[in-house]
C-alpha cells in the first residue's frame, strides 16, 4: 500500500541501465464522487522496443494479480519522465528524446502531440533542424496550465497549455518564459536532467556535471533568452545554488522534501543522497543510497517518506526514525571534494549535446546486449548482486593522471 501511495515515483529502464527490462511506472491518484481519496489499481509504464521506439502503456491489475495493458502512444527514443496533471485521475504528459511533448487521457486510447521542442535562434524563429532532446517534464501544482520541460541544452522552457493548438504539425514551439543561470547562458556544453516544482511554484533544475539551481518567478528570461540585452541580464537575480553532489554519469532527478518543501534532495554519482535546506542551501543530511549511483527521488504526497532508486535493482523507502538530528558523516568533506574535482576534470572536455545523447543511446544498446547474454535469473537466485548492478559507464581519460598517456579529451565507455 505504501508504494501505491507514492504518487509519481518513477523507475526508468534507462536509469537502471543494467536492468533495462524494468519498466517506468506511475500510480494514478483518483477521486471518487464524494471527493474521497482512493487509488486506482492502474499504472503507467514505458517500454523500450529497441533503439528507435519507446511505447507508453497503461495497465490494470486484475483480480488474481494478472495485468491487462494497452498502448497509449509512442516516442522515438527514450522517455525519462512522465508528469501527472494535479487533481486529475486521467490526464498526464510525457516527453522524450524525439523532442515531443505528448498529452494522454486515460479515457481514450490515443495520445496527442502538443509540440516539438527546438533550439532558440536570435531571429526568434524556431529551428526545425535542431531538436532539443527532452529529459524532464513537470507541471506547476499551483497553476496546471503551465508545463515546464528541459533537456539537451541549458534552458528550462515554460509552456502555457492554453496556447497549444493540440496539433504538433501546426503548433510552433513558443514558451512563455525561460530560465537559466546567467553564467550558463549560451554556454552550449551543459544540459538539464531533472526538474521539480515546489508548492509555491519555485522551479528546481539539475544540470549535468554542473550544480542545482532554484529559480523564482521573477528570474525568467522571457520567451527567447537570446534576445535579452546585457543590461537586462545584469538586472536578473541570481538563483539559489546547491552543491556537493555530482550529476554526470546518468539522468538524475531532483526534488523538494518536507511538508512545506523546506528541503532540496538529489542523488549523486557517488551513491549518496544529499539533503539541503532550501532557504540557505546548507547541507543537513548525507546518506548512502546506492552502492553505485542514486538517480531518482520522490516524496510521499502527505507524509515524510522518501522513495529513491539508482543502479541497484531495488527501490528504497526512507522514513524518519528519531527526533535527534544526526551529524554529517566524518567523510563529508572528502566526498564533496571528490565530486567537485570530478566536475572540474570533466569541464576540460567539451562535448555537444548531440554527442552526449549519442553516447547514452550507445550505452543503452550495449547494456541491453549484455543483459540478453546473461543466463536466466529466475533460478535459485544465487547470482552475485554485483553482476546484477553492472552498467556501462561514460568515462573521460585524464591526460595528467592516466597511466596510458591517453588523450585528455578522449571519451571511453567501460
Cell numbers for 224, please give them. 527567447
Is 37 domain-assigned? yes
Count: domains in the chain: 2
Same domain, 403 and 286: no
**164-to-57, 98, 136, 168 alpha-carbon distances in Å:** 24, 18, 19, 9
* Domain assignment of residue 9, yes or no: no
Per-residue pLDDT averaged across 352-375, rounded?
70
Residues 104 and 228 in one domain: yes
Verify that 250 and 155 share a domain, yes or no. yes
**Sheet of 177-179: strands edge to edge?**
134-139, 146-151, 156-160, 177-179
Residues 302 and 335 grouped into a single domain: yes
Residue range 339-363, pLDDT digits in tens: 998 888 765 555 566 777 777 777 7
Asked if 230 and 209 count as a contact pair (C-beta separation under 8 A), the reply is no
- Sheet of 100-105, strand order: 81-84, 91-95, 100-105, 111-116
Domain-ending residue, one of 313, 345, 377: 345
**244 φψ region: left (φ > 0), alpha (ψ -120 to 50), beta (else):** left
Query: For residue 310, which of 327, 326, 282, 291 has the smallest C-alpha distance?
Result: 291
The radius of gyration of the chain from alpha carbons, rounded to an integer in Å, stands at: 21
Pair 396, 257 in one domain? no
At which of 345, 375, 393 does a domain end? Answer: 345
> Residue 130: what pLDDT?
84
Which of 315, 345, 375 terminates a domain? The answer is 345
Question: Where residue 394 falls among pLDDT bands split at 50, 70, 90?
Answer: very low
333 lies in the same domain as 366: no
Question: Which among 208, 179, 173 is positioned nearest to 194, based on CA atoms?
Answer: 208
Looking only at Cα atoms, what is the longest distance across the chain? 70
157 and 264 housed in the same domain: yes
pLDDT above 90 covers a percentage of the chain that reads 40
Digit-coded pLDDT (tens) for 280-332: 999 999 999 988 899 999 988 888 899 999 888 888 999 888 777 788 999 99
- Which range marks the domain in which residue 222 is found? 17-345
Most confident of 66-80, 93-107, 311-325: 93-107
- Residue 87 gets the label, from left (phi > 0), alpha (psi -120 to 50) or beta, of left
Same domain, residue pair 275 and 400: no
Q: Helix, strand or coil for residue 390?
A: coil
Contacts of 230 (CB under 8 A, 6+ apart): none
In a domain, 12, yes or no: no
Question: Is 1 contained in some domain?
Answer: no
Do 317 and 373 have their domain in common? no
Helix (H), strand (E) at residue 180: none
Task: Check whether 221 has a pLDDT greater than 50.
Answer: yes
362 shares its domain with 329: no
Residue 315 is predicted with a pLDDT of: 87
Say how far apart CA 256 and CA 304 lie, in whole Å: 11
Classify residue 267: in a domain, yes or no.
yes
Interval 137-178: pLDDT, tens? 999 999 999 999 999 999 999 999 988 876 655 556 789 999
Task: Say yes or no: 399 and 363 in one domain.
Answer: yes
C-alpha distances (whole Å) from 203 to each of 195, 198, 213 are 7, 7, 8
CB atoms within 10 A of CB 94: 26
Q: How far is CA 366 from the centre of its chain?
A: 22
Residue 115 lies in a domain: yes
Work out whether the CA dihedral 145, 146, 149, 153 comes out positive or negative.
positive
Verify that 322 and 370 share a domain, yes or no: no
Residue 89 neighbours by CB distance under 10 Å: 18
In this prediction, residue 29 carries a pLDDT of 39
Residue 7, domain member (yes or no): no
3-state SS assignment for residue 318: strand
Amino acid at each position: 500500500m505504501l508504494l501505491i501511495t507514492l504518487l509519481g515515483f518513477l523507475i526508468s529502464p534507462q536509469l537502471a541501465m543494467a536492468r533495462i527490462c524494468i519498466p517506468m511506472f506511475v500510480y494514478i491518484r483518483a477521486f471518487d464522487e464524494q471527493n474521497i481519496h482512493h487509488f486506482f489499481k492502474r499504472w503507467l509504464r514505458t517500454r523500450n522496443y529497441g533503439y528507435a521506439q519507446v511505447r507508453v502503456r497503461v495497465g490494470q491489475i486484475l483480480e488474481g494479480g494478472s495485468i491487462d495493458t494497452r498502448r497509449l502512444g509512442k516516442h522515438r527514443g527514450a522517455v525519462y519522465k512522465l508528469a501527472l496533471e494535479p487533481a486529475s485521475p486521467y490526464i498526464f504528459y510525457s516527453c522524450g528524446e524525439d523532442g515531443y511533448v505528448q498529452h494522454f487521457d486515460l479515457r481514450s486510447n490515443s495520445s496527442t502531440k502538443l509540440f516539438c521542442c527546438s533550439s532558440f535562434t536570435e531571429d526568434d524563429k524556431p529551428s526545425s533542424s535542431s531538436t532539443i532532446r527532452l529529459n524532464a517534464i513537470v507541471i506547476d501544482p499551483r497553476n496546471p496550465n503551465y508545463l515546464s520541460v528541459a533537456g539537451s541544452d541549458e534552458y528550462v522552457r515554460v509552456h502555457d497549455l492554453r496556447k497549444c493548438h493540440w496539433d504538433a504539425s501546426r503548433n510552433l514551439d513558443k514558451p512563455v518564459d525561460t530560465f537559466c543561470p546567467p553564467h550558463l547562458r549560451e554556454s552550449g556544453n551543459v544540459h538539464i536532467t531533472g526538474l521539480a516544482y515546489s508548492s509555491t511554484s519555485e522551479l528546481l533544475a539539475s544540470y549535468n556535471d554542473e550544480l542545482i539551481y532554484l529559480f523564482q518567478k521573477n528570474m525568467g528570461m522571457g520567451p527567447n533568452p537570446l534576445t535579452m540585452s546585457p543590461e537586462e541580464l545584469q538586472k536578473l537575480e541570481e538563483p539559489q545554488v546547491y552543491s556537493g553532489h555530482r550529476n554526470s554519469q546518468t539522468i538524475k532527478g531532483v526534488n523538494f522534501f518536507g511538508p512545506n518543501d523546506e528541503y532540496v534532495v538529489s542523488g549523486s554519482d557517488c551513491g549518496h543522497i544529499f539533503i539541503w535546506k532550501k532557504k540557505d542551501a546548507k547541507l543537513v543530511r548525507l546518506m548512502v543510497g546506492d552502492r553505485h549511483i542514486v538517480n531518482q527521488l520522490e516524496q510521499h504526497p502527505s507524509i515524510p517518506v522518501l522513495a529513491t532508486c539508482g543502479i541497484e535493482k531495488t527501490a528504497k523507502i526512507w522514513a524518519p526514525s528519531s527526533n535527534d538530528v544526526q551529524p554529517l558523516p566524518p567523510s563529508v568533506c572528502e566526498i564533496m571534494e571528490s565530486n567537485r574535482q570530478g566536475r572540474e576534470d570533466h569541464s576540460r572536455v567539451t562535448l555537444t549535446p548531440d554527442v552526449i545523447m549519442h553516447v547514452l543511446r550507445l550505452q543503452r544498446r550495449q547494456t541491453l546486449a549484455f543483459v540478453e547474454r546473461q543466463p536466466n535469473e529466475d533460478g535459485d537466485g544465487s547470482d552475485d548482486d554485483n553482476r546484477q548492478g553492472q552498467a556501462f559507464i561514460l568515462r573521460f581519460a585524464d591526460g595528467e593522471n592516466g597511466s596510458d598517456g591517453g588523450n585528455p579529451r578522449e571519451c571511453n565507455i567501460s
